[in-house]
Amino acid sequence: MAATVRIAESTHRALAEVAKAERITMQAALTRAVEAYRRHVFLEGLADDFARLRDDPKAWAAEQAERAVWDRSLADGADGADGADGADGAGK
């Protein structure tokens, strides 16, 4: 579904420059720009969430304890790298 959005003339010029430089349509350039900004906003929010978590000593300790459990489980050698989990297609 196409929609019309008003943008500043300077933004239009910048969008055209990017599209030309990348040899893509202005629509594709805008789509990429919006996706990049969406990811940026998400990661800023994530960073803020972790900052709040670190500011709460009890919650941060619980987070660290959970990470330690995951670290131990990841280091137990049961990742299937040796083919013991059957992921290598043996027996098929």
Cβ atoms of 83 and 89 within 8 Å: the answer is: no
Instruction: Please tell me the pTM assigned to this model.
Output: 0.66
CA 80 – CA 29 distance, rounded (Å): 41
Phi then psi for residue 60, to 5 deg, are: -65, -40
Give the per-residue pLDDT at 89.
52
Instruction: Read off the pLDDT of residues 38-53 as tens digits, 9 standing for 90 and up.
Output: 999 999 999 999 999 9
Cβ atoms of 26 and 16 within 8 Å: the answer is: yes
Structural domain spans, the chain: 9-74
Instruction: Read off the pLDDT of residues 5-64 as tens digits, 9 standing for 90 and up.
Output: 999 999 999 999 999 999 999 999 999 999 999 999 999 999 999 999 999 999 999 999
Q: Which two tokens stand for residue 82?
A: 């040796």
The one-character DSSP state at 79 is S
- Report the percentage of the chain scoring pLDDT > 70: 84
